[in-house]
Each structure stands twice: as C-alpha cells, then as structure tokens.
Amino acid sequence: MRYNPFGTTGFDISVLTLGTMTWGRQNTEAEGHAQMDYAVEHGINSFDTAELYAIPSTAETWGKTEAIIGTWFRATGKRKDIFLASKVAGPAAFAAHIRDGNLGFSSAQIDEALGQSLERLQTDYLDLYQLHWPARKVNFFGKRGLHSIKNDPWEDNTLEILTKMSELIKAGTIRHWGLSNETPWGVMRVLHLADTHGLPRPVSIQNPYSLLSRGFEIGLAEVCLRENIAGFPYSPLAMGRLTGKYLDGSARDNARLNLFQQYTRYNSDNALAATKAYAAVAKKYGLDMTKMALAFVTDRDFNHSNIIGATSVEQLKTNLESVELTLSKEVLKEIEGVQARWPDPSV
C-alpha cells in the first residue's frame, strides 16, 4: 500500500479508502466485516461511510452501514487504527426517510445526525465529517449544468455551518470536516468565510471522478491543488461500468447496474461507447481494465485517496492490486484520446 498526506490533517492516509455503501443492502454484516479485515490486512487505514447508507437508501436500510462498521470496531478494537469518515445528509426528497425528514445543515440538525452516527459507529469521534451534498439548488448527482436559481428556497447558513464545525472540533467529536458533491463556487464560498472569520476550513471534497466523469478537472482540481484541499473521489469505477463486466457479459444478475436499474448515470450511449474504447486501450496494453481505471484516478495529484467499493473480497483484492500499477505515457495518451472523443459522458 502507498500513503499520502491527507490535505492539511497531518494524517498519512492510504491511497485507497474502503467505501462501504453496499453493506446492509447488497452485503451482510459478516461480508462487511470480512472486507474490513482484508482491507486492513493489506494496508488500508481509511473507511468512508454515511448516515444515508446502505445504498439505495430506504427507511429500512439507512444507518445500517454505520452499524456494521460499529460492530466491527467493537469486535476488533481497531478504531484507533482507522481514519473514519462519515457524512450528514442534506435536504432531498430521496432522503426524506432519514431522521423523519429533519434534513439540513442547521446546528441542531448536525448535532442530531452526528450523535446518531457516533452511536451506530460505536465511537466518540469522527476523523472526518462531511456535508453529503449542498442544500442549495445546484448541479450534482449527474446533472450537467445549473441554468437558473429561480425558486431556490436555500438560505445561506454557511457561517452557521462553519461555526458548528469549529465547536465540534473543539469538543473532540470530529477532528476535521469536509465537503461532498460540491462546486467550485461552493468551495470558494466556504473558504472565504472560514478565512474571514478564523474558522476551520474544510480539508477535503468528495465528488465523483472516473474515466467516465472527469468534470472535477474543470475548476475543482485547481481549487484542491492551490488551496491544499484533499480530493477524495468516489465512484472511480462508475458503479462497476469500468470493470468491463457489463461488456463481456460476465456481470451477475445481482451486479449493481443490473440490480438497481434506476441508476442510469453511466448508461448513456456515449458512456457505453467510451467504456468500449477504454476497454480497447486496456486490451491493447495487456492491462486489467479495473486496475487501469483505478490507477488513473489514484495517481491524479489532486486526489489524496481514492474511495473503492466492492461486494466481494475477490473484487476488493483486484481493487487493492491497482496500487501496484503506474500507467505509462503511452496509455495516458490513449486515455486522453478517448476523453477527447467522449468528454465526460456521465458529467
């Protein structure tokens, strides 16, 4: 395993973080525990979760992933060895089942969410607490652009959020805080207010980034590089699309995109064409497509840790082996050629 300094935290984090969102829906508690065991044995020291998980989130499954992590901590005593990140859900109709719909980023709402997450996780602190998505009207979760802010009920409470995060850091219930599914404007707005009022900056941003979704490079990558914000990308395999298993017919009936067909972000004609082209690049150079896709994400300078996810230890093993791969200049040139033909088909 390789490690990077994670933003300004002073923590050396594994270049791969274990994502957890299938535990409690696609994976049992025992399977989640087995993945954590295997990951830690092979050098991973960072887990990412959220109160929303397992995904797809329902009234029956939200919070289950955190609870599975909590029972693993209790059984292993390894909480102190793990950089633990979780998230508080923002307002959204698809998350209305969480905490009786009391969603948002007021001080009281953050207190309620954090308290429940800590209880499920069986810990008294988080290393990183993230706002899962903005409360305002904005382009996230695959939306290509923002064209109007008319009828946006959002009231800017950024200073309240910063003040609350400062209080939580001082109290020791979180060590750092971060953003997720944010935009360049959102990050710079937060940084400006934090610096103006002497409050803690966010240390990271967790947005989608993959060969099919490189929009992060437009604006956010420069923000991360110049402000020393840790890129903490999710969906590096585009929900499994970039493993190639949906191309060759090896995907099982319970594979994510077969099981949950409501997720169409990586199913456009352009995304499918680009996936075939990336598969051809991997074949030409004798590379495993999964490892090629992950290595590309891991080795961007603005990404400090790449969040991987798996539904089996076998898949996890392949993901972990990607850290041994460094893409050649020839492969990178071919990847850029595919990107030029199908730029960001999944945003």
Q: What is the pLDDT of residue 254?
A: 59
Catalytic: 53? yes
Q: List Cα–Cα distances, 254 to 260, 261, 311, 333, 334, in angstroms.
A: 9, 11, 10, 35, 32
Q: What is the pLDDT of residue 147?
A: 80
Q: What is the pLDDT of residue 144?
A: 80
Q: How far is CA 339 from the centre of its chain?
A: 22
Q: What is the pLDDT of residue 245?
A: 81
- What count of other Cβ atoms lies within 10 Å of the Cβ of residue 145? 7
> What domains sit in the chain, N to C, each tagged with a CATH number?
3-145+152-341 (3.20.20.100)
With H, G, I as helix, E, B as strand and everything else as coil, classify residue 208: strand
Q: Taking a C-beta distance cutoff of 8 angstroms, is the pair 90, 134 a contact?
A: yes
Instruction: Say what the pTM is.
Output: 0.95
- Please, what is the Cα angle at 344 between 57 and 140, to 5 degrees? 35
Q: How far is CA 162 from the centre of its chain?
A: 21
Mean pLDDT of successive 10-residue stretches along the chain, which has 347 residues: 98 98 96 98 98 95 98 98 98 94 96 98 98 91 82 94 98 98 97 98 98 96 98 96 82 60 79 96 98 98 98 97 98 98 91
Q: Among residues 3, 53, 209, 246, which one is catalytic?
A: 53
Residues sharing a CB contact under 8 Å with residue 126, sequence separation 6 or more, in sequence order:
84, 85, 86, 114, 117, 118, 173, 174, 175
d(CA 188, CA 223): 8
Residues sharing a CB contact under 8 Å with residue 143, sequence separation 6 or more, in sequence order:
347
